[in-house]
Amino acid sequence: MIGGVTQWLPLLGSLIVAAAVLVGVIANNRTHREGIAAADERGRQALDAAQRNVELSNMVGDQRDHEAWRREAVLAAVASILETSASVRADLTNCGDWDLVTTEEIDNVGAQIHKVIWDRPSSMLTRLRVVAHRRIPNKCEDLLRTLTAAQHITMQRLKLHIDVEATVEELEEMASLWQKAMRHAAEQERALVETTRIELGIDIATKGPAVAPVPAAVPEPVVEEPAVEEPIAEEPVAAEAAAEPQVEEQTAELRVVEVVEADVVEMRKAEPAQV
């Protein structure tokens, strides 16, 4: 009996070892599978994070490109309107040089200026209403309306100048109204520039870097030369010779001043009648 059991001991030991090895292999495989699954999960998470970062970077780049395009569009439209405004104001300022003698000629010139004011700037104004804050197109529209008013006042002023029944008071009143309209147009231009800078974040430095004060130069000692005595008999002659050119120069200067003052008085008298 004991001998039979002894014969089975190696087999039982082998079975126990095989079972232990099998359990170890199964546990090891399970551990490997869990590790592989965890690695796959980490890889998937890393891939998702990288994809999100790429999408976010692309989104930021697209937003940056869109903002740059919007800024360029706003700047181009505002610059075009300001250029038109400056050109119209220059033309209205030089209205005195126009050779217009009839009402029809004045009306034709007024229609041309009105077309310049509203032709191209109208399309720029529509673009600004799409890509810019409403403050900018509102300022542009105010500027264009002010230019239109100045154009109408200029045409009325020209018509008043060719009217033989116009009085001096009417001419002066129209000239004052025209100057106010031109000043208001210039103020509208400055307001549009400031509004555009504020919206686009354009900061213009108003103060430069501090400059260190320059020390004052120390005067060099002056070496006095020995005085040379002049003959006493020649002093009166030299004094008279020097005094004569001074008197002539003073007389010439007085004549120039009188001529300039006379010209200024004539210009002031003729100024209300200028166009």
How distant, in Å, are the alpha carbons of 15, 59, 148, 239, 264 from that of 131? Answer: 83, 19, 25, 80, 52
Write out the DSSP string of 230-275.
Answer: PPGGGHHHHHHHHHHHHHHHHHHHHHHHHHHHHHHHHHHHHGGG--
pLDDT value, residue 112: 93
Domain boundaries, the chain: 71-200
Residue in the block written with tokens 């869109």: 66
CATH of span 71-200: 1.20.120
| 210, 185 Cβ separation under 8 angstroms | no
Angular region, 34: left φ>0, alpha ψ -120 to 50, beta rest: alpha
Q: Per residue of the chain (275 residues), what is the pLDDT tens digit?
A: 555 557 666 767 777 777 777 777 787 777 777 778 888 888 888 888 888 888 888 888 888 888 899 999 999 999 999 999 999 999 999 887 888 888 999 999 999 999 999 999 999 999 999 999 899 999 999 999 999 999 999 999 999 888 888 888 988 999 999 999 999 999 999 999 999 999 888 887 655 554 444 444 444 544 445 444 544 444 444 444 444 445 455 555 555 445 445 554 455 555 444 43
